[in-house]
Amino acid sequence: MKKLSLGLILVSILSSAALAHENRYSIEQEYAIINSCVGNNSYNKSKCICALRKTQKSFDEFENTNRFFNEFNKNFKNCYWL
């Protein structure tokens, strides 16, 4: 019974770790996108994070394209301050 419980816990941890990395860009890319979005207005930080989360659902990998940034800007406008 102890082995089964430990096994289930391990599978649960590994599964959540795998899901946490799903639809994530590199830390450098995420930082650059958020930093550029926030600019001099720290009040935008929550909206920028929201916009990036929504954009990542449409783009598995970061693309330095107008299409990506148009989607990001659309998502930014539809995010509300948290």
> Are the C-beta atoms of residues 56 and 35 closer than 8 Å to each other?
no
> Are the C-beta atoms of residues 81 and 47 closer than 8 Å to each other?
yes
The total domain count for the chain is 1
Question: At 14, is the pLDDT very low, low, confident or very high (cuts 50, 70, 90)?
Answer: very low
Residue-wise pLDDT tens digits, 34-46: 999 999 888 889 9
Task: Write out the residue range of the structural domain in which residue 36 sits.
Answer: 2-78
3-state SS class at 12: helix
Q: How far apart are CA 31 and CA 48, in angstroms?
A: 11
Question: At 82, is the pLDDT very low, low, confident or very high (cuts 50, 70, 90)?
Answer: low
Q: How far apart are CA 63 and CA 45, in angstroms?
A: 21
pTM above 0.95, yes or no: no
Tell me the torsion sign for CA atoms 72, 76, 25, 27.
Answer: positive
